[in-house]
Every structure is written in C-alpha cells, then in structure tokens.
Amino acid sequence: MEYKQVGFFKRVANALTDIEKLKTPILVKEAAESIQLIEQYKKKLEHTADEKQNKFLNNKIKLLELGLKGENRVLFELQNSFLPIHILHDVRIAHKDLKAQIDFVVLTRKFMLVIEVKNYFGNILVNEKDEFIRQVYKGNKLAFQEGFYSPIRQAERQVEVFESYMRDMGAVTRTPIKSVVVFSNNRTIINTKKASEQVKKKILRADGLVGYIKQELEKASPVHFLDNRMKEISDYIKASHFEFIDDETDSVEMKLLEETISTQNESNELMISVQTNNTDLEETLKRFRMKLATEQNVKAFHIFSNRTLEELILKQPCNLNDLQTIHGIGETKINAFGEELIGIIKNYQHR
C-alpha cells in the first residue's frame, strides 16, 4: 500500500503542533485473527464426526493457543513497560511476492523493533557455531536434545521484507529497524555462553524485553519521533496488514510446537514427581543462601536469585564445570561458595 504523504504546508503545521506527551504504551493492533481462527476450528470441531479430522482440528487449536499464550506473555510485558511505545500484535506484510508474518512490531521514539516469539518447552542452548539446540531434562538428566532452525535468521528475514516494504513505500527513510527473539516460557533456561556476541544481544526471555528496549532507547538514533509522527507510522503499518486467510505456520515451527505439546503432556506427571522430591533440596539451598546473606549483611538475592535457585534444582550440577552453566553463577561466586553448593546437591542425590 503506497504511503500517501501530506502536503508540505500540512507537514510543517503537523511538525509545529507535534508534542511529546505520550508516557505509556498504546496497543494499536491486537491479534484478532488468531483468536478468530481458533473459534473457526472449534466450530468445525462441533460438526465433525470423523475421528481423523477431529484429531487434526484439536491439534490445530492446541498449536494456535500455545503460540498465542506465549505472545500474550510478551504483550503483558510491553503493556506494563510504562514506556511511550506503540504496539502492533500479529502483523502480516506482503511485498514483492514475499510475505512476513511478524509477532510484534513495536514503534518507539528512536527505532522500530520486530519481535519473534517462541513458546517452546525445554531449555535452549546456542553453541559456538551459533546453532540452536533445544534440550529437555528429566530431573538432572538430559532426556533428549535436537537442533532447530535459527529463530534469529527467521526474525532477520521478516525484517528484510518489512524494511524493504516500509522504505520502498516511503513510510520511513532513516528509522533503524531492529529485531530480537523472545522465549516466552518462564521455565526456559537460555544458555548462550558460547554463542557470538551478535547472537547474545538478540536472544531474550520475556522478562528481559523491557530492559532491552530501555537500553536501546539510551543509544543515539538518526530519528526522534513525537506523538503525531508515531501515530502516523503505526496507523500506516496497521493499514498495511493483510487479512488473515488461513493458518500459515511453517512446517518447522509446527513440528517444534507439536513436540512442545507432546513433551509437556508426557512430562506432567514426571514434573509433579520431580517438584515434590526437590522440595527438600530447595529448602536446603534457601537456608544456605540465607545463611550467607546474614553473614554478609546483604539481601538473599545478592547471593543468588530465584532464577538461579530454579536452575540449581533443575540441573543439579555435580561439579564446578557444570556449575558454570548456571545463570548468575560466575567465577567469583564459584570461588566463594561453589564447593559448598556442589556438596549440598551431592548429599541430596545420595540420599
């Protein structure tokens, strides 16, 4: 859709009257199409007696709901960011025989951010070759792992289509367009210690997204949008969205989502058992943390955070090398109390 710019005098008038009043997020576009598709599948389900078709439709509904659940976690973070941003959820752009299905476009005063959301069960490892590997643990043992297509490259492809469209249509010229991948499952542990710096910067958990945006807003930019200009751009993106026709989730993504649902179902009973058995370990680690915090006269989270506690319980490292893979445990903490942590975990395992 060609961008229709207003006349010179109108642009001058808009610029003179533009203000910087916006202080909180605005949801410009919701993901209505995904919800409509779920309802569409549910209605079909009510009128089918075929077992094979029934199973197919149920699976489709679960996949869409899983994806939407992850995206809603990200939406919650964005809407509660207290930042002057415009949020567009589920944007589809068609340009030069190419299509981009974008989970979120976030417009800030200094840049646009394309967000790809992944709601996978299991942990994510990025190795020294920047290859993505999903790992599923049962207790402290690795049950299986598998590689999957780089979500960073997936997000970059979307940016290429989106940026080409916005620039070719004349909607923006100098505006930086950034991209990140957000893993929305709050139990997912992301290990990027061996990944390149470029990859590390683009991989986030949902709870780190707002911090990332704030950090990027502190950097210099060739643009600084006021309220009217932000509305003009976000309205144009919304108008450029093409209507949802069918579920276009690609085959690789479908496979990972299907395995996520399958793994979650298989692991429910196991997770309940593991969580029950890990109660003693959790209490012991909490007492150890409080003991150190009292001795050092600091808050407990200064010793290690709840996220670190969760990883210690999940992975149960048996040596100092394994301990290095735990979020929030660096060389200083390993030297200070690493041996004691390993001792606590080993005592628990040998009961």
CA distances from 66 to 18, 63, 91, 192, 257 (A): 41, 5, 18, 25, 8
Q: What is the mean pLDDT of residues 155-159?
A: 94
The per-residue pLDDT for 322 is 81
**Does the pLDDT of residue 245 top 60, yes or no?**
no
User: Burial, 199: exposed, middle or buried (Cβ in 10 Å; 0-12, 13-18, 19+)?
Assistant: middle
Q: Which of 96, 98, 38, 28 is nearest to 66 (CA)?
A: 38
The one-letter amino acid code at 86 reads H
Q: What confidence category does residue 15 fall into, taking pLDDT thresholds of 50, 70 and 90?
A: low
| CATH of span 278-349 | 1.10.150.80
Range in 4-8, 60-64, 193-197 with the lowest mean pLDDT = 4-8
The one-letter amino acid code at 260 reads T
Q: Helix (H, G, I), strand (E, B), or coil: what is residue 242?
A: coil
Q: Which of 103, 281, 296, 127 is nearest to 195 (CA)?
A: 127
The per-residue pLDDT for 40 is 85
What backbone torsions phi and psi does residue 14 show, to the nearest 5 degrees? -60, -40
Q: Which of 56, 50, 115, 121 is nearest to 87 (CA)?
A: 115
Q: What is the mean pLDDT of residues 86-103?
A: 92
What backbone torsions phi and psi does residue 295 show, to the nearest 5 degrees? -60, -35
Query: Would you give the DSSP letter of residue 83?
Result: S
Tens digits of residue pLDDT in 133-153 = 988 877 677 888 888 889 999
The per-residue pLDDT for 5 is 55
The one-letter amino acid code at 255 reads K
The per-residue pLDDT for 324 is 85
CB neighbourhood size of 132 (10 A): 22
Residue 54, C-beta contacts closer than 8 angstroms, at least 6 positions apart:
45, 48
Gap between the Cα atoms of 121 and 192, Å rounded? 17
Q: Which of 312, 18, 16 is nearest to 140 (CA)?
A: 312
The per-residue pLDDT for 67 is 79
Q: Which of 173, 25, 21, 151 is nearest to 88 (CA)?
A: 25
User: Would you state the structure tokens that stand for residue 92, as one six-digit string?
Assistant: 């589809």
Higher-confidence residue: 51 or 336?
336
Q: Are 63 and 249 in contact (CB under 8 A)?
A: yes
Count the helices and strands in the chain (H runs, E runs): 13, 10
Q: Which of 258, 337, 272, 218 is nearest to 58 (CA)?
A: 258
Range list for CATH 1.10.150.80 in the chain: 278-349
CA distances from 90 to 71, 206, 285 (A): 9, 17, 42
Q: What confidence category does residue 116 fall into, taking pLDDT thresholds of 50, 70 and 90?
A: very high
Q: How far apart are the first and last CA of the chain?
A: 67
**Does the pLDDT of residue 65 top 50, yes or no?**
yes
Question: Class for domain 22-266, per CATH?
Answer: alpha beta
The per-residue pLDDT for 320 is 87
Gap between the Cα atoms of 208 and 197, Å rounded? 17
Tens digits of residue pLDDT in 257-302 = 555 555 555 444 434 344 444 567 888 999 999 999 999 998 888 8
Taking the mean position of all CA atoms in its chain, how far away is CA 244? 23
Q: What is the mean pLDDT of residues 148-169?
A: 93
Q: Are 70 and 185 in contact (CB under 8 A)?
A: yes
Range in 199-208, 268-277, 333-342 with the lowest mean pLDDT = 268-277
Task: Please tell me which of 52-56, 116-120, 158-162, 265-269 the model is most confident about, judged by mean pLDDT.
Answer: 158-162
